Amino acid sequence: MIVRELLKDFYEKFYVANNKCNVFFAPGRVNLIGGHVDYHGGFVLPCAINYGTYLVISKRDDNEVYGFSKNFKDIGILGKGFDNLEYDESDNWFNYPKGIIKNLIEKGYKISNGFNMLFYGNIPNGAGLSSSASLELVILTALNSIFDFKLTKIEMVLIAKEVENDYVGVNCGIMDQYAIAFGKKNNAILLDCKLNKHEYVEMDLKDNKIMIINSNKQRKLADSKYNERRDESYSGLKIIMEKANKKNISELKIEDFEKYNNEISNETERKRAKHVIYENNRTINAGKLLKENDLANFGKLINESHKSLKNDYEVSCDELDYLVELMIDDDSVIGSRMTGAGFGGCTVNIVKENEIERIIEKVNKNYFEKFGFYPSIYVADVGDGCKEMRLES
């Protein structure tokens, strides 16, 4: 249905007779556990969701590139040749296609024609569900296909991450791009961010569903304290690694932290290191519990993860804490935590399916009473990674 509508919109915006067009989709992702450990080479457990970004694309006969986003209708059609691909604040969302194109050209991939693009995303922007990584990956998947670059998934992941880090200027880890490329229906991805290798863990949620609650407290990842946290945690972790004689953060055990943490004189750095080591070990355990289908204990680790992100890593906020509080007090909730970078954005929750309506009502009412605005609530399925869509769908 969505695809048919987008094709209609595409032809209205960019009518070019007889031009073949293709449709691609890249999901958003939600991280079940493993918050702020990817950039330290730890383990994370995200999954792709059935919300994401659609792209209709068609080659042109010239060398111009045009894009229209249904999410930013007011901006209209943006267009550029291949000659000016530098980042430009005023280009807004169009910087993402520009960044990807620039990166591909610099790597020697030959983009032989221009093309028209129409985008539509149903993930909330800047809410911690990776709308930007989804946009990067949908573009890469499309260009890879229509120009036959033969890029592998991991190559696309690394290009998208490079664009985010060096072109957009957000110093993120690899989790978002990886989960979006490698997502698999009904599976979580236990990803080792040091080796960039994953294992799928089947998610049998039984009579439960994933509920994502957007606090609607906007956060700006690039402006946030993300980089500051990275640096603070690294300083403490370095001390423990040296003392424990371990080369990688992912090898650090809880015992190492308990034995050597008093060597870290700065209290903030100690707390940051504590979160990373405990969270990494929690994620490994959570992966095991999910494999064993032990949802109750899996949920407990999700709750602990939130506490640690709140108290030790200090990346939560009142709105997220309140949402988690409302959920963990409810018998129909298996686990609840903030997800993504934090400082606003979303919580991820595992809830009993037949209690969803009641929970939505309760959360809306209480949250509005406390903050004067509503959250947005999504019930999500675990979906596939980026792919081409069949046109008849």
Q: Residue numbers of the site for ligand GLA (CB under 6 A)?
A: 31, 35-36, 38-39, 172-173, 175-176, 340-341
Number of H helices, E strands in the chain: 11, 12
Written as six digits, the tokens of 217 are: 């407290």
Nearer to ligand GLA, 212 or 341 (CB): 341
Cβ-based neighbour number of residue 11 at 10 Å: 15
Integer Cα distance of 312 and 306 in angstroms: 10
Q: What SS3 class is residue 55? A: strand
Query: Closest separation between CB of residue 130 and ligand GLA, Å?
Result: 6
Nearer to ligand GLA, 101 or 157 (CB): 157
Query: Closest separation between CB of residue 163 and ligand GLA, Å?
Result: 13
**How large is the angle between the packed helices 95-106 and 131-146, nearest 10 degrees?**
50
Integer Cα distance of 292 and 30 in angstroms: 21
Nearer to ligand GLA, 31 or 208 (CB): 31
Residue located via tokens 């296609």:
97
Integer Cα distance of 260 and 66 in angstroms: 56
Is position 231 annotated as part of the catalytic site? no
Query: Closest separation between CB of residue 345 and ligand GLA, Å?
Result: 9
Query: Closest separation between CB of residue 167 and ligand GLA, Å?
Result: 15
Residue 308 sits at φ, ψ, to 5 deg, of: -70, -40
Closest CA to 233 of 263, 192, 262, 274: 274
Residue 118 sits at φ, ψ, to 5 deg, of: -125, 125
Residue from 176, 318, 329, 331 carrying the catalytic annotation: 176
- Give CA torsion, residues 388, 195, 291, 131, to 10 deg: -40
Query: Closest separation between CB of residue 308 and ligand GLA, Å?
Result: 12
Nearer to ligand GLA, 91 or 176 (CB): 176
What residue number has its CB nearest to ligand GLA?
A: 172
Q: What SS3 class is residue 304? A: helix
Nearer to ligand GLA, 118 or 135 (CB): 135
Nearer to ligand GLA, 299 or 340 (CB): 340
CA end-to-end distance (rounded Å), the chain:
7
Query: Closest separation between CB of residue 132 and ligand GLA, Å?
Result: 8
Residues annotated as part of the active site:
176
